[in-house]
Amino acid sequence: MNTAATTSAITYIDGDAGILRYRGYPIEQLAQHSSFLEVSYLLIYGNLPTPTELEEFDQKIRRHTLLHEELKGFFGGFPRDAHPMPVLSSAVSALSTFYQDSLDPFNAEHVEVSTIRLMAKLPVIAAYAHKKSIGQPMLYPDNSMNLVENFLRLSFGLPAEQYEMDPVVVKALDLLLILHADHEQNCSTSTVRLVGSSNANLFASVSAGINALFGPAHGGANEAVLKMLRQIQADGIKPEDYMEKVKNKEDGVRLMGFGHRVYKNYDPRAKIIKATAHEVLGKLGGNDELLDIAMRLEEKALADDYFIQRKLYPNVDFYTGLIYKAMGFPEKMFTVLFAIDASRAGLPSGAK
Ligand code: CMC
């Protein structure tokens, strides 16, 4: 538990003070002033891009959005009610069967093109996993759009209709992708590193990381939070009574979206996300009752000795599910939205 596998020049976390920085930039600053694409560039290459560098990076990604037609056939092999996370990890693993000539982890060009392919294709695969689960046709990417816009259109668009892009949704999703972009040596990143240390290719390593993210103690918590809130609503339980169940550890029940292995203070991402939840639900209309339940749970927890003594605060997942739901994503897609950030796991040779 106290043994770090490496030091990171990418992310700095001070869990006791609630500080998170990417490449030295405070997360609050990046959330306010940067786009997801800029932050991705920062994480991969170590510096924020100039306008020309950003444009080139963006164009490279747009060029690689198409999935091989044979890979699309893959989606038909899963049961209709398949969870999109294993669909995603399987499709990412399958990428290595389509790009066999550029898989060498010691070849900087191979790693770079694989990273760009992952960034471009992972949102497309994620959107197709969603379309598969609701039985709708899969659209081709539209490369006049940026990565976030394309993902939304592929997730919600229909062939015969013009997809109306909501700027509130685009901005909020861009922000959420920034906030989930890196978190040093968490379970999924450590998994990618472990598999990669055997000199496995990038797609194989990232596919393993996606599976690690699936668990409810990690990325799966965003789905688990919404299930918990809905259960409380459906059963008509008072948040205070639910807290008693948690504190008495009845059936091992935990307050999902609370506690963190590293943060023993308010997760700085949760602060930003809480404000966004109010903004998005205010503009799009969402289930206000669920937001009220979440806020009452948080209020009770922050004043309760059980949580104070154990230093349990809301984490990144506590409010995200409510936002994703207001955007129109089903619960099964929540962890997939987190997984889209796995695309930058590859780093060009020389980057640390
Ligand atoms: N609700 C109630 N009690 C809790 C919770 C919680 N969410 N989290 C920890 N505890 C208690 C736990 O029962 C233990 O009590 P005691 O000392 O009496 O045995 C104490 O706090 C320490 O627990 P721990 O499991 O040793 O703590 P940890 O820091 O190893 O666990 C955690 C971190 C995230 C696994 C845990 O807090 C948890 O299960 N939280 C709920 C799931 C969740 O929200 N996960 C998302 C994590 S953040 C995003 C991500 O990584 O993907």
pLDDT digits (tens, 9 = 90+) for 241-296: 999 999 999 988 999 999 998 999 999 999 999 999 888 888 887 667 888 899 99
**Would you say the ipTM is above 0.95?**
yes
pLDDT digits (tens, 9 = 90+) for 6-41: 888 999 999 999 999 999 999 999 999 999 999 999
- Residue 186 CA, ligand 1 centroid: distance in Å: 14
Residue 350: pLDDT above 50?
A: no
Percent of the chain with pLDDT over 70: 96
pLDDT digits (tens, 9 = 90+) for 230-246: 999 999 999 999 999 99
68 is catalytic: no
Instruction: Please choose from 2, 258, 298 the residue to mutate so as to test ligand 1's pocket, defined by most ligand atoms within 8 A of CB.
Output: 258
Q: Which pLDDT score, from 0 to 100, does residue 154 have?
A: 97
Q: Which pLDDT score, from 0 to 100, does residue 115 have?
A: 95
Residue 120: pLDDT above 80?
A: yes
314 lines ligand 1 (CB under 6 A): no
**Confidence band for 314, pLDDT divided at 50, 70 and 90:** very high
Give the angle 274-223-35 at the CA atoms, nearest 5°. Answer: 50
Look-up of token digits 């799009």: 284
| Domain 221-332, second-level architecture | Orthogonal Bundle (1.10)
Look-up of token digits 């897609």: 333
257 lines ligand 1 (CB under 6 A): yes
Average pLDDT across the chain, whole number: 92
- pTM recorded for the entire structure: 0.92
- 315 CA closest ligand 1 atom index: 48
- Residue 260 CA, ligand 1 centroid: distance in Å: 6
Q: Where are the domains of the chain?
A: 221-332
Q: What average pLDDT does this structure show over 180-197? A: 92
Residue nearest to atom 20 of ligand 1 (CA): 310
317 is catalytic: yes
Residue nearest to atom 44 of ligand 1 (CA): 257
Q: Tell how far CA 263 is from the center of its chain.
A: 18
* Residues in CB range of 123: below 8 A, 6 or more apart: 147, 148, 150, 151, 154, 340, 343
- Residue 217 CA, ligand 1 centroid: distance in Å: 8
- 125, 232, 280 from 274: Cα distances, Å: 28, 20, 10
Q: What average pLDDT does this structure show over 136-163? A: 95
- Residue 248 CA, ligand 1 centroid: distance in Å: 14
Q: Which pLDDT score, from 0 to 100, does residue 4 have?
A: 75
